[in-house]
Amino acid sequence: MTEAGQSPERAPERAAEGAAERDAAYMRLALEEARLAAEAGEVPVGAVVVAGGRVVARAGNRTIAANDPTAHAEMEALRAAATALGNYRLTEAWLYVTIEPCAMCAGAIIQARIARLVYGADDAKGGAVRSCFRVLDHPRLNHRVEVTPGVLGEECGAMLKDFFAARR
Ligand code: ZN
């Protein structure tokens, strides 16, 4: 027991709970971006970049509005984060995104040297982290990205499902 009366073996557990709460809080911001994208008629995917414990960029999909096939939420957020930080390397940054990134975005994550990727739902039809391809953990890559999948996964997946269901 420490002098504060806390059991030391409980500390890692509490830290894990704190980390999970923090991840969920940032994912809710990404979900908010996804919601805004849906309202604009875009596929509802949202992303947030966190560096030094603060949000440096947040964005939703805007491929239709921008007439740009590369304007995925992750790409938009990475660009905005790099501009905000004045650096094309985001080595300290964490990227939160509602859906498992595609091959293009996984490539951009490596180019940006993102330290950690947190995502919501798996994308069985194009996910490039573990569903269709495993872009981030190819043995030839020098850069390693820490990945945490499944954060608010049901909510993130449901938003996408509802969107496509409503369009049918
Ligand atoms: Zn993408």
Q: What confidence tens digit (pLDDT) does each residue in 112-166 have?
A: 999 999 999 999 999 999 999 999 998 899 889 999 999 999 999 999 999 989 8
Helices (H), the chain: 11-39, 63-66, 73-85, 103-111, 153-167
Give pLDDT, residue 2. 47
Which residues are catalytic, by number?
A: 74
Give pLDDT, residue 97. 98
Q: Are strands 94-99 and 46-51 parallel, antiparallel or unpaired?
A: antiparallel
Ligand 1 center to 19 CA (angstroms): 26
Q: What confidence tens digit (pLDDT) does each residue in 2-52 have?
A: 455 556 667 878 888 899 999 999 999 999 999 999 999 999 999 999 999
Helices (H), 40-96: 63-66, 73-85
Q: Give pTM, 2 decimals.
A: 0.91
Ligand 1 center to 74 CA (angstroms): 6
Contact 73, 57 (CB under 8 A): no
Token pair 């947040």 is found at 58
Ligand 1 center to 10 CA (angstroms): 39
Give pLDDT, residue 131. 97
Task: Give dist(CA 26, CA 11) in Å, integer.
Answer: 23
